[in-house]
Amino acid sequence: MPLSDTAVVGQAIIAESNFGDGFRDDFNTLSVETSSEPGNRTGDWKRGFIHANMAEFGFTYGSDENTGNGDNFVHAAINFENSVYPDTRKPNTFGPSGLSVNNSVLTITSRPKITAENDYARVKDYQLNHDGSLGAFERDHQVTYLSEMLSKYGRVAMSFFRLRAKVKTPYGADGASSDVEQRKAIFPAALWTLQDIPYGCDINGEPFGDGRTTYRPARPNGGGILFEIDADENFGESATKIHQTVHTHPAGTAQGASTSYPTTIDIGKDLRSEWRETGVDVFPEKIIFFTDGIYTHEVAAPDEIRNGLPLYVPQSGAEYDPVMVNTTTAQTNGRQTHPDGSTRYMCHVPIINLARDGKYPRDLARQVLDGGGTLPAHQDTVSMEVDYVEMRPLIVENPDTLPMRINGVAMAADGSTGGTQTSATSLIQQSETYIDVQPEGVLGNSFRVTVKLKPDDDGTPANPDDYTFTWSVDSTLQVVGLDTGPEIVAEFTQEINVASVARLFSCDVVKL
């Protein structure tokens, strides 16, 4: 019987001993992103909308593609939300921050904009092209609120895990108007995840062949929406109910379509004034949610969770898009693998934010009233409190040999680099020197480095037998195997305990 069979709705969550050490933030202090460079990993938390600071082009704040209509906050108003999330690329210098820590509790505040923030709070929505550039302009509008979003993008992601947080969240809605734009709803997303798309990598988790390091969101199955797990959401319509949902995007569905598996849990206590611990366990066989130590809702793991990530066939010259069998189904060729040949599974990134309005919460507010119900009073300034957030890898019956991605480095559940592994950024291009900036090296440990050959001119994969490979490494490494082909296994010859000490290796690639 698999371990997941012991996780049963209505029963207590399984023992903590089934999960290893991952990350936990008790918010004794708050460490957030400080750099605006694309793909940076400063701070423990990324601030702002999840895609901010993840592109070399596209998210060009202040350049105003729609002349005369204020600042450009691309996709900041996703889901037709009515708030702006400040980030380091476009910091809010006009009003107070919505982030604070006191007595080891993180407080996220959402408030109405002040007059000085009018231009800052003007949002322009664009579609995002698959290559990360701006697409069609959709709308330009003035939002009402300033809010906050924090995520672990580029810092922590896991495939099979336990994720939980202890939170208090606001609520309240006004659904009286027949005009959806005039309705209001407080929308705390206290704990959720999105599928991790590594910075600078294509749809198969490999560095782009053109050498660029830009973040270009993968578009598997032509859908353009990432796998999502919502462990704790409230749409403002209730003082005691939370929503737990899995959003999948299976092959063969219409572009942009999804299949959702939601449930509503009445936890029987006030969400705003009483602490609750909510979370989710993700197993290969199923995804199961919990609240205050009791399992509440389960969803069978879809194929891309259970069996590993599909290996998509990328389009020639457009590695961010797969070849399409038809308008809804992408062409695949087996499963993605780690460098050791084992299956690579989808990783998920934790996110917390306090949103305002949004299409579904506004619609739900009206549905409650139309059904004869009542809504809790709406307030303009509200706060969400977070006591802690933690994410721990599954260490029992975990099929993923490298189930964690910490600061971009794939790791085993015990925190090691798994013997012979490499992060996606360890691949080097033809005739280029790669400077390794992985965090720590342990004396005697080894890792594998692979040359990623660019496709031939006709788009077919290059044949390694048509090339010679000459490797060189610096004094901190020694080559211990596979030194004449497209891979080497290198071993550390000295302890390296700081990220600023680089390990250098290069490969001279010559076509025969």
What one-character-per-residue DSSP string does 332-352 give? Answer: EEEE-B-TTSPBP---EEEEE
Mean pLDDT of 182-191: 96
* CATH at residue 27: 2.60.120.200
Across-strand partners of 174? 184
Residues 433 and 377 in one domain: no
Q: What is the DSSP letter of 96?
A: -
Residue 488: pLDDT band (50, 70, 90) is low
Mean pLDDT of 250-266: 76
Say yes or no to pLDDT of 55 above 50. Answer: no
pLDDT at res. 254? 56
First-to-last C-alpha distance (Å) of the chain: 54
pLDDT over 90, % of the chain: 44
Residues 148 and 219 in one domain: yes
Q: How far is CA 256 from the centre of its chain?
A: 18
Residue 219: pLDDT band (50, 70, 90) is very low
Strand 487-492 versus strand 241-248 pairing type: unpaired
> Is 414 inside any structural domain?
no
The CB-side HSE value for 7 (13 A sphere, CA atoms) comes to 27
Residue 436: pLDDT band (50, 70, 90) is very low
The CB-side HSE value for 410 (13 A sphere, CA atoms) comes to 30
Residues 267 and 166 in one domain: yes
User: DSSP strand E in 339-486: where?
Assistant: 348-356, 382-393, 404-406, 409-411, 433-436, 446-450, 467-473, 477-481
Residue entry with tokens 């069998």: 325
pTM for the whole thing? Answer: 0.78
Contacts of 465 (CB under 8 A, 6+ apart): none
SS (H, E, C) 2-50: CHHHHCCCCCECCCHHHECCCEEECCCCCCECCCCCCCCCCCCEEECCC
- Residues 91-141 pLDDT 10s: 888 889 999 999 999 999 999 999 998 878 877 666 656 655 666 666 677
What's the structural domain count of the chain?
Answer: 2
Say yes or no to pLDDT of 264 above 80. Answer: yes
The CB-side HSE value for 372 (13 A sphere, CA atoms) comes to 0
pLDDT at res. 442? 42
Torsion sign (Cα): 291, 296, 302, 308: positive
Cβ atoms of 122 and 141 closer than 8 Å: yes
Mean pLDDT of 43-64: 58
Q: CB neighbours (10 Å) of residue 3? A: 16
Cβ atoms of 217 and 226 closer than 8 Å: yes
Tokens found for residue 223? 């859908």
Highest mean pLDDT among 67-71, 198-202, 213-217, 492-496: 198-202
Say yes or no to pLDDT of 298 above 60. Answer: yes
pLDDT at res. 38? 67
More confident residue, 119 or 381: 381
Residue 87: pLDDT band (50, 70, 90) is confident
Which one of 372, 393, 414 terminates a domain? 393
Residues 472 and 344 in one domain: no
Residues 350 and 492 in one domain: no
Residue entry with tokens 């099979």: 160
Nearest residue to 73 (alpha-carbon basis) of 53, 90, 56: 90
Rounded to 5°, angle at Cα 489 from 487 and 493: 145
Residues 314 and 440 in one domain: no
Cβ atoms of 448 and 485 closer than 8 Å: no
Residues 472 and 377 in one domain: no
Instruction: Give the range of the structural domain holding residue 447, as residue numbers without chain letter.
Output: 428-511
Chain length of the chain? 512
> Is 437 inside any structural domain?
yes
Residues 385 and 269 in one domain: yes
Helix (H, G, I), strand (E, B) or coil at 80: helix
Residues 250 and 201 in one domain: yes
152-156, 320-324, 500-504: segment of lowest average pLDDT: 500-504
82-86, 358-362, 443-447, 455-459: segment of lowest average pLDDT: 443-447
Highest mean pLDDT among 120-129, 146-155, 228-237, 246-255: 228-237
Residue 196: pLDDT band (50, 70, 90) is confident
Say yes or no to pLDDT of 46 above 60. Answer: yes
Residue 215: pLDDT band (50, 70, 90) is very low
Name the helix (H) or strand (E) containing 360.
Answer: helix 359-370
Helix (H, G, I), strand (E, B) or coil at 424: helix
> Is 370 inside any structural domain?
yes
More confident residue, 81 or 12: 12
Residue 423: pLDDT band (50, 70, 90) is very low
Residues 149 and 72 in one domain: yes
Cβ atoms of 14 and 385 closer than 8 Å: no
CB crowding 479-495: b at 16 or more within 10 Å, else e: beebbeebbbbbbbbee
Which one of 393, 420, 454 terminates a domain? 393
112-121, 300-309, 358-367, 428-437: segment of lowest average pLDDT: 428-437
Residues 441 and 386 in one domain: no
More confident residue, 11 or 95: 11
Contacts of 319 (CB under 8 A, 6+ apart): 202, 203, 208, 209, 210
Mean pLDDT of 324-337: 82
What is the overall mean pLDDT for the chain?
A: 78
Q: How far is the C-alpha of 420 from the C-alpha of 402, rounded, in Å?
A: 11
pLDDT at res. 313? 84
> Is 408 inside any structural domain?
no
pLDDT at res. 64? 36
Q: How far is CA 442 from the centre of its chain?
A: 28
Which one of 344, 378, 393 terminates a domain? 393
> Is 401 inside any structural domain?
no
> Is 378 inside any structural domain?
yes
The string of DSSP codes covering 303-322 is HHHHS--EEE-EETTEEEEE
More confident residue, 360 or 453: 360
More confident residue, 414 or 10: 10
Highest mean pLDDT among 179-183, 438-442, 464-468: 179-183
Residues 433 and 389 in one domain: no
> Is 471 inside any structural domain?
yes
Q: CB neighbours (10 Å) of residue 84? A: 27
Nearest residue to 215 (alpha-carbon basis) of 37, 407, 80: 37
> Is 421 inside any structural domain?
no
The 3-state DSSP composition of the chain as helix, strand, coil percent (nearest 5) reads 10, 40, 55
